Amino acid sequence: MMEEVEQSGEVSLESAATEEETTPPTEVNSNCNHTDNGVTSCPADVTSEVKPEITPEVTMETEQSKDLPETPQKPGGGPVVVQGNNKNAASEKLQRVRKWSITTYKCTRQALAEKLGRGSRTVDLDLEPRLELLKDDRQRYENVTKLAQTLAGQLTQLTVTQKTLADAFGELSVKSPELHVEFGMNAEAHKFLSKSSETLSEAINAFTSDMNTLVNKTIEDTMINAKKYEAARIEYDAYRVDLEELNLGPRDAVTVPKLEKAQKDFQGQREMYQKIRDDLSVKVKLLEENRVKVLHNQLWLLHGAFAAHSLSCHSFLEQNIQQASKHLNNPTADAPSWLEES
State the Cα torsion 68-72-77-79 to the nearest 10°: -20
pLDDT of residue 336: 57
Distance CA(307)–CA(12), nearest Å, equals 132
Q: Cβ distance 83 to 68 under 8 Å?
A: yes
pLDDT of residue 86: 54
The pLDDT assigned to 33 comes to: 43
- Integer Cα distance of 99 and 89 in angstroms: 15
- CATH class of the domain at 111-329: mainly alpha
The model's pTM: 0.62
Contact 163, 320 (CB under 8 A): no
Q: Which of 28, 31, 68, 33 is CA-nearest to residue 48?
A: 28
CA distance 104 to 333: 91
- The reported pLDDT for the residue numbered 249 is 78
- Distances in Å between the Cα of 11 and the Cα atoms of 4, 5, 15, 42 are 10, 10, 6, 14
CA nearest neighbour of 184 among 289, 68, 327: 327
Give the Cα separation of 127 and 137 in Å (integer): 15
Task: Delimit the domains of the chain by residue range.
Answer: 111-329
Polymer length of the chain: 342
- CA–CA distance, 320 with 185 (Å, rounded to integer): 7
CA atoms within 13 A on the CB side of 117: 0
The pLDDT value recorded for residue 149 is: 95
CB contact at 8 A, 39 and 55: no
Please report, in tens digits, the pLDDT of each residue of the chain (342 residues total).
Answer: 344 434 444 444 344 444 444 444 444 344 444 434 443 444 444 334 444 444 444 444 444 444 444 445 555 555 555 454 555 788 888 888 887 888 888 888 888 888 887 878 888 888 999 999 999 999 999 999 999 999 999 999 999 999 999 999 999 988 888 888 888 889 999 999 999 999 999 999 999 999 999 999 999 999 999 999 999 999 998 888 888 888 887 888 888 888 888 889 889 989 999 999 999 999 999 999 999 999 999 999 999 999 999 999 999 988 888 887 777 666 544 555 555 555
